[in-house]
Amino acid sequence: MLNFTKNVLQCFQEIERTINKKKELQLTIEERDYYLKSLAKWGRRAYQEFFNEDAQKATFQYSQLMKFAPIFVSKLLPFPWEVLYEGEYQQADPEKFWGFCHPIARNLTPGKTAPLEQILPLNMLFCLHHKLLHAHHQERPEIEKLVRTLGKFYLLQLSKELKKLADGESLVTHLYQTQHNILHFACHCRPCRQYEDEIDALVISFIEDESNAQEIELETYNFSDVSGSFQCQPLIFLNACQSAGGIDELRKTFNLPEKFIQHGAAAVIATACPVPDLFAAAFASVFYNFFIGEKMMIGKALCKTRRYFLEKYNNPLGLAYGLYSSPYYRIAQVPAVLGVN
């Protein structure tokens, strides 16, 4: 499975380079078919390897709520399950990719009951890196407009209180004390310098103005340094480069989604590979429109977002986004008397 994962990530990286070179979301039909065929080959091989009699014990289904919602409970296999492919890979049929057809999810805490609703009003903290132009000019304003229809939106900015936050440890302490029920990270993710590429770190900016920002790294180790957990069991969207952790032995278990889940997050969305700022900004905006605007369950919203980019732009990179929660997690129904600012 490790070899399968490496080859899938290599294909994702080829798509990333194509998007960056073209500076647009749109791929040609020929490019789409080439990438789908490459992904289908490894997705098919993984499907054949994984779905033998013993390996099937690592999944279970909730058929009463959805037609088919596979939830993977094994933490030992880092494969991006959205690429699983049933059929002859030469056809590269989108309908055979699990990630385009099913609300796939990962359960990192089997046996533990997770919340299925995000209580209103929404309270989002938007964290970004100041050099990501599309996150500034597209992702942030579009998501802010949507969130404010059901609650409040805050940008991680320098203030009297936040000037005291000098590192990732103090940021984690701050996040544990807030009432944010959605944390969105539009930032970079890179192996942490201090530990010689062994762990992941989110690179975030405290925004003061367009030309002035203070960088800070939120490391996976910071969660072990601070006692406590999130108060509001937030949804975490890690819209960053390779935020799902690496494929080596340490980072399979010591990665960002697992740390957020362990400390009280209700759901995490993370990328399996570097995602261009252009694609990441557009993908997040469309996802929130389905999840918040149309009140879809999170698994279905993520699945439909992947399909949206494949059908509109011939772009299959949405398969790089994975879900760590129940696929049935959703925004609570709006009470008739609810008032929001």
Residue boundaries of the structural domains of the chain? 2-106, 117-301+309-330
* Predicted TM-score (pTM) of this structure: 0.89
Torsion region of 23: left, alpha or beta (phi above 0 gives left; psi -120 to 50 gives alpha): left
DSSP assigned state of 138: I
The pLDDT assigned to 253 comes to 45
What pLDDT sits at residue 64?
41
Beta bridge partners of residue 236, listed in sequence order: 183, 268
pLDDT at 74: 62
Fold of 117-301+309-330: Rossmann fold (3.40.50)
Phi/psi of residue 35, each to 5°?
Answer: -70, -40
pLDDT value of position 32 = 97
* pLDDT tens digit at each of 341 positions of the chain: 678 888 999 999 999 999 999 999 999 999 999 999 999 999 999 888 877 655 555 544 443 444 456 677 766 566 899 999 988 889 999 999 999 999 999 988 877 887 889 989 999 999 988 888 898 899 999 999 999 999 999 998 866 666 667 788 889 999 999 999 999 999 887 765 554 445 568 888 887 665 567 888 888 889 888 999 999 999 999 997 656 666 554 454 447 888 999 999 999 999 988 789 999 999 999 999 999 999 999 999 999 999 999 999 999 999 999 999 999 999 987 655 444 55
Walk across the sheet containing 105-106 and list its strands.
59-61, 70-72, 105-106
pLDDT at 20: 92
Angstrom CA distances, 323 to 150, 152, 217, 264, stand at 23, 24, 23, 16
pLDDT of residue 243: 61
CA dihedral 146, 155, 232, 74 (to 10 degrees): 80
SS3 of the chain: helix, strand, coil, percent, to 5: 40, 20, 40
